[in-house]
Amino acid sequence: KVTHLSCFTDPNQIYPWQTEPTDKLDFRHHNYKEMRKLMKSVHETCPDITHIYTIGKSYTGLKLYVMEISDNPGKHELGEPEFRYVAGMHGNEVLGRELLLSLMQYICQEYKRGDQRIVRLVKETRIHLLPSMNPDGYEMAFKKGSELAGWALGRYSYEGIDMNHNFADLNSVMWTAIELETDRSKLINHYFPIPEQYTTEETRAVISWMQNIPFVLGANLHGGELVVTYPYDMTRDWAPREHTPTPDESFFRWLAVVYASTNQGPNCSDDHGFSLLSGMNDFSYLHTNCFEVTVELSCDKYPHASELPIEWENNRESLLTYMEQVHRGIKGVVRDKDTGAGIADAIIKVDDIDHHIRSVADGDYWRLLNPGEYRVTATAEGYLPSSPAELQGNVPLLHINTQRRSCNLNYRSTVSKNGEHE
């Protein structure tokens, strides 16, 4: 699905030239070494809320650096959702890279100033920013510059592979499972083997990252259009404009509108003009708990450095508001009623939404939902299923306690006043 931010036929209308941004950020294009230097500078300025780590290397050996931002960097905190932004999958689509470098600077500066919104975001969310998924491609485009890089130079990996079509095709597996009436929750989510021989070094690194960190929400930043796309990107019968919604269509639509409506100058309309095989959005939705959209940020894949301040102004509020959506829905911990220990890999089911998520290592879970009326249950191997919890309106916290199976056990379930569901 696509929500257009719009592109104008007259290039002079693309950028609403206005007062220069007041944010004191490093607005320029950064090559690999300059990107590392800037990230190090941000960490040195805000060492208490930042952590730099790598998830792997590119084909030529360049590291894929991630900036983590959290009030307790370096570890997962019980109940705190994990968020990610990924940029630079296509190395010549450079605006996302620069926006994420600006975003990490901005969050650091505003946190030190005590901005309440930023402080709350940092304290309640573990944020991961991967500014360059394809550093090999970026270096090729950077050497030519914005005027000479062209439409394709640097788009692909060093091996000539398009990473946007390099993830396992779980859509076909899912649709086959539907036809065969197979239990899709065990076939796909966290269980389906990934054929590594078909993927680039960079793609394998990102897949491993997606599997190791319990991301809840993310976005993949591209360029070349002004549009937001969301699953399913691949249509079932390959018809370009076929409507192929996920069970979470209404929430994905909300995410697209959130980014588009807070972006300065966009127009929104629906138009599904392509079918994307083996994309990251669909893979993330079908293989992990993470909901993800793709944001095409600019009609120009490699805008001139002079345009970066205005692009930051256009996208700053969108980037922040989108991150805040990671807290929309319900969250809690699935625990053993007798021991109080968290139960990993419990399946969280919402009636009438045929897509389940799972609790993570400590038993915590996050289920993205729009406000409304829902019936939620949890099941785990070796445990009795929880009785359904009836939710109305916006109930953000729902802890679930369940008991091990016993042939002599009479099981009852209640909801306590503090949000505990037993």
CB 212 within 8 A of CB 198: no
Report how far residue 269's alpha carbon sits from residue 3's, in angstroms, rounded to the nearest whole number.
Answer: 6
* DSSP annotation of 253: H
- Identify whether the C-beta of residue 99 lies closer than 8 Å to the C-beta of residue 38: no
Beta strand 82-87 pairing with 126-130: parallel
Q: Rounded to whole angstroms, how far apart are CA atoms 15 and 291?
A: 30
Catalytic residue among 93, 98, 139, 296: 296
Give phi and psi for 274, each to the nearest 5.
-160, 165
What SS3 state is found at 21?
A: coil
Are 333 and 79 contacting, i.e. CB atoms less than 8 angstroms apart?
yes
How far, rounded to the nearest angstrom, does the alpha carbon of residue 317 sit from its chain's CA centroid?
Answer: 17
Residue 65's DSSP bridge partners are: 54
Q: How far apart, in whole angstroms, are the C-alpha atoms of residue 325 and residue 342? A: 25
Bond before 232 cis per omega within 30 degrees = yes
404: how many CB neighbours lie within 10 A of its CB? 14
Dig out the tokens for 113 from the structure: 């100033």
Six-digit token string for 45: 């300025």
How far, in Å, CA of 39 to CA of 51, rounded?
10
Active site residue 311: no
**C-beta of residue 220 within 8 angstroms of C-beta of residue 86:** yes
Q: Which positions are catalytic?
A: 296
